[in-house]
């Protein structure tokens, strides 16, 4: 199959993407978080092809993307008041809600669960395509399963060339990490994946929020977890990633002492001068965590090379968006964190 490159700048290409979706084809489309690899979420055969193209385990459900909050009513049932409150504050935007699934949504999309994840993205291109196609857009991140999510059309092409019908190029994604997922089907709202909408913002609005254990640490592959995708090795380049925490200076001392052939450094822009001779890669500025979230996956992809065996990485600390960046980087590192202040 030839993968067609479309441009979001051309109205006829938006129409072409919508037409492909209506005909059961697979199209990668930019959202404000990451590129989504989508199909008509109510067309079972099309959805099956998403799993095939990604090499994704079939027990890992997909998110449905909608263009108006009221579309929730055709996809979910028993919608809690909290959902409308969250929609009012954070939609369109990087927030996915898990709710009881309605009868129209196929088993394949939800991997047999009786719940469904729904999100109304804010990116104008995906909104236009959803509206023009008239379909609920089922879309996981547009990467091969296990690899970092894609934040540019070139990265999508790298992973999906020959596997999907088209890629709609809308430039790089602004947020850069996948949406926040909150499960509203339990007694208390539960954070399943941190993202651009922060735990603090959710707590301020909901009054309470539990954090799922899959967010906090490594989960074994056979564990039963609320967001099945969180247990898989994810976001990971082929090299072993180690997070080196502590002050910039202590981390640089630790890393420089060990640095050798096959090693790479992933750091903050402010730290580049500390790694003279180590060919460091900066993924954003420590003083502007949104640049770190926007740049993380592209940097992990750049460092996914056969000649790199170990990546020493610097990770932002704290809440807000840093919590999401830290979560993705820690997952890439299989939660291996070394405290440079206490290690010689
Ligand atoms: O920002 C995003 O959410 C991007 C863009 C394309 O919208 N999508 C995305 O999809 O990250 P994906 O498939 O790569 O990640 C979706 C996560 C998976 O971990 C999956 O297990 C979880 O959401 N999920 C989906 N439906 C669920 C459900 N009903 N219950 C619990 N977890 C669910
Ligand atoms: Mg994904």
Residue from 26, 94, 148, 229 whose mutation best tests the ligand 1 pocket (most atoms within 8 A of CB) = 229
| Residue 281, helix vs strand vs coil | strand
Average the pLDDT over 69-95 and give the result: 97
Computed over every residue of the chain, the mean pLDDT equals 94
pLDDT tens profile 248-269: 999 999 999 999 999 999 999 9
Asked whether the predicted pLDDT for residue 90 surpasses 90, the reply is: yes
The widest CA-to-CA distance across the chain, in whole angstroms, is: 60
pLDDT tens profile 322-342: 999 999 999 999 899 999 998
38 Cα nearest atom in ligand 1: 6
| Residue 210, helix vs strand vs coil | strand
CA of 185 to the centre of ligand 1 (A): 16
Q: Is the distance from CB of 55 to CB of 142 less than 8 angstroms?
A: no
pLDDT tens profile 181-215: 999 999 999 999 999 999 999 999 999 999 999 89
Residue from 119, 191, 227 whose mutation best tests the ligand 1 pocket (most atoms within 8 A of CB) = 227
When pLDDT is cut at 50, 70 and 90, the band that residue 42 belongs to is confident
pLDDT tens profile 145-188: 988 999 999 999 999 999 999 999 999 999 999 999 999 999 99
When pLDDT is cut at 50, 70 and 90, the band that residue 116 belongs to is very high
When pLDDT is cut at 50, 70 and 90, the band that residue 221 belongs to is low
State the Cα–Cα distance between residues 99 and 67, nearest whole angstrom.
Answer: 17
110 Cα nearest atom in ligand 1: 29
Q: What pLDDT score does 343 carry?
A: 79
Asked whether the predicted pLDDT for residue 138 surpasses 90, the reply is: yes
When pLDDT is cut at 50, 70 and 90, the band that residue 313 belongs to is very high
Residues with CB under 6 A from ligand 1: 31, 33-34, 36, 60-63, 94, 96, 98, 110, 113, 115-117, 119, 121, 139-141, 178-179, 181, 192, 226-230
State the Cα–Cα distance between residues 30 and 53, nearest whole angstrom.
Answer: 17
Give me the sign of the Cα torsion angle 104, 105, 108, 110.
Answer: negative
Q: What is the pTM of this model?
A: 0.95
Structure tokens that stand for 82 in this block = 């909290």
Give me the sign of the Cα torsion angle 140, 143, 144, 146.
Answer: negative
What does DSSP say about strands 137-138 and 35-40: parallel, antiparallel, or unpaired?
antiparallel
149 Cα nearest atom in ligand 1: 14
Starting at the edge strand found earlier in the chain, the sheet holding 4-7 runs: 4-7, 166-169, 27-30, 35-40, 137-138, 63-65, 115-119, 95-100, 180-183, 190-193, 210-211
Q: What pLDDT score does 135 carry?
A: 87
Q: Is the distance from CB of 97 to CB of 116 less than 8 angstroms?
A: no
Per residue in 151-177, is it b (16+ CB within 10 Å) or e — as a string? bbbebbbebbeebbbbbbbbeebbbbb
Which ligand gives the minimal distance to the CA of 229?
1
CA of 96 to the centre of ligand 1 (A): 8
Average the pLDDT over 128-132 and give the result: 95
Q: What pLDDT score does 315 carry?
A: 98
Asked whether the predicted pLDDT for residue 68 surpasses 70, the reply is: yes
Residues of the chain above pLDDT 90, percent = 87
């Amino acid at each position: 199959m030839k993968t067609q490159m479309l441009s979001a700048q051309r109205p006829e290409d938006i129409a072409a993407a919508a037409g492909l979706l209506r005909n059961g084809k697979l199209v990668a489309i930019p959202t404000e978080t990451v590129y989504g690899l989508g199909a008509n979420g109510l067309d079972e055969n099309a959805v099956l092809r998403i799993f095939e193209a990604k090499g994704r385990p079939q027990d890992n459900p997909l998110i449905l993307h909608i263009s108006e909050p009221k579309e929730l009513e055709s996809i979910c049932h028993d919608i809690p008041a909290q959902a409308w409150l969250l929609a009012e504050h954070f939609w369109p935007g990087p927030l996915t809600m898990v709710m009881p699934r309605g009868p129209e949504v196929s088993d394949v999309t939800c991997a047999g669960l009786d719940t469904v994840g729904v999100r109304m993205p804010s990116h104008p291109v995906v909104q236009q395509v959803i509206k023009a196609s008239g379909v609920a857009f089922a879309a996981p991140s547009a990467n091969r399963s296990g690899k970092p999510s894609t934040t540019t059309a070139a990265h999508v092409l790298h992973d999906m060339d020959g596997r999907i019908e088209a890629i709609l190029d809308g430039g790089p994604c602004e947020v850069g990490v996948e949406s926040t997922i909150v499960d509203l089907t339990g007694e208390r709202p539960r954070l399943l994946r941190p993202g651009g909408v922060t735990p603090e913002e959710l707590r301020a609005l909901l009054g309470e929020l539990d954090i799922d254990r899959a967010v906090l640490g490594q989960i074994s592959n056979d564990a039963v977890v609320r967001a099945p995708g969180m247990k898989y090795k994810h976001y990971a380049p082929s090299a072993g990633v180690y997070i080196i925490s502590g002050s910039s200076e202590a981390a640089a001392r630790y890393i420089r002492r060990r640095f050798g052939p096959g090693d790479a450094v992933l750091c903050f822009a402010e730290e580049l001068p500390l790694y003279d001779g180590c060919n460091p890669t900066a993924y954003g500025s420590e003083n502007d965590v949104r640049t770190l979230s926007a740049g993380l996956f592209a940097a992990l992809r750049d460092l996914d090379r056969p000649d790199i065996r170990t990546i020493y990485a610097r990770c932002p600390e704290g809440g807000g968006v840093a919590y999401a960046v830290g979560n993705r980087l820690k997952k890439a590192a299989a939660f291996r964190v070394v405290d440079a202040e206490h290690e010689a």
